[in-house]
Chain A
Amino acid sequence: SQKIEQNSEALNIQEGKTATLTCNYTNYSPAYLQWYRQDPGRGPVFLLLIRENEKEKRKERLKVTFDTTLKQSLFHITASQPADSATYLCALDPSTNQAGTALIFGKGTTLSVSS
């Protein structure tokens, strides 16, 4: 069956450390993978998109990698801050045609950064 999994439900780290979140998928061949941030009681907010031909993408303290062989994306937050505490969701399009379908989401990893 097709699945998208985020390995850890929760991740606790200390301020200043690098947080690494994992997203694995099976039986998909997505052309893109997206990461969102969701704060309690709010809707998800888009962070980064990475294409299948891009191995790595950066935005400020964020870095995303995409390994289509391992079927895995890693999401890194460097120099983490308490304000980075939130749930992070990965998402992909399960279709292989240009018309596409709705994004499917992992269950998310809740990151807590302590000061």
Chain B
Amino acid sequence: GAGVSQSPSNKVTEKGKDVELRCDPISGHTALYWYRQSLGQGLEFLIYFQGNSAPDKSGLPSDRFSAERTGGSVSTLTIQRTQQEDSAVYLCASSLRQTSGELELFFGEGSRLTVL
């Protein structure tokens, strides 16, 4: 597609439920990133994928969070047993490749998660 696509754009769930957020990166981009943005806060890095390399999961806040990337393209971020503090906008970004900050990131519009 022309840009990074994320779905759903809004998700309201009850505490304790599992949620899945989807990201479809720009075609040909080998690097994919997930960030979280809470109200009034900056972007918090969660995880990134680069080609066939093992993902960098160092930003995942707990073992309730996981992500996978199938076929080097679409990625799914899963949050199990959601908590109210998980409420945030989850942003996905992609870039041509993962380098030392030399390339710009292209962001999707985000998935706004509200946990009641």
Pick the contact of B104 from A41, A46, A100, A108 — CB < 8 Å?
A46
For chain A, the bracket of interface size reads 20 to 34
Pick the contact of B43 from A33, A45, A92, A105 — CB < 8 Å?
A105
B102 touches A49 (CB 8 A): yes
Pick the contact of A31 from B41, B98, B102 — CB < 8 Å?
B102
Contacts of A102 in B (CB 8 A): 33, 45, 48, 56, 59, 98
For chain B, the bracket of interface size reads 20 to 34
| Interface of A (DSSP majority class) | loop
Q: Within B67-116, which residues are at the interface with A (CB < 8 Å)?
A: 91, 93, 98-102, 104-110
Contacts of A92 in B (CB 8 A): 101
A99 interface residue per 8 A CB criterion: yes
A19 to B93, CA, bound (A): 28
A44 to B106, CA, bound (A): 8
Question: Can you offer 18 A-B residue contacts whose CB atoms are under 8 A?
Answer: A33-B101, A34-B101, A34-B104, A36-B105, A43-B109, A43-B110, A44-B107, A45-B107, A46-B105, A49-B104, A96-B100, A100-B99, A100-B102, A102-B48, A102-B59, A103-B33, A106-B42, A107-B41
Chain A positions near chain B (C-beta within 8 angstroms): 30-34, 36, 41-46, 49, 89, 91-93, 95-108
Chain B positions near chain A (C-beta within 8 angstroms): 4, 33, 35, 41-43, 45, 48, 56, 59, 91, 93, 98-102, 104-110
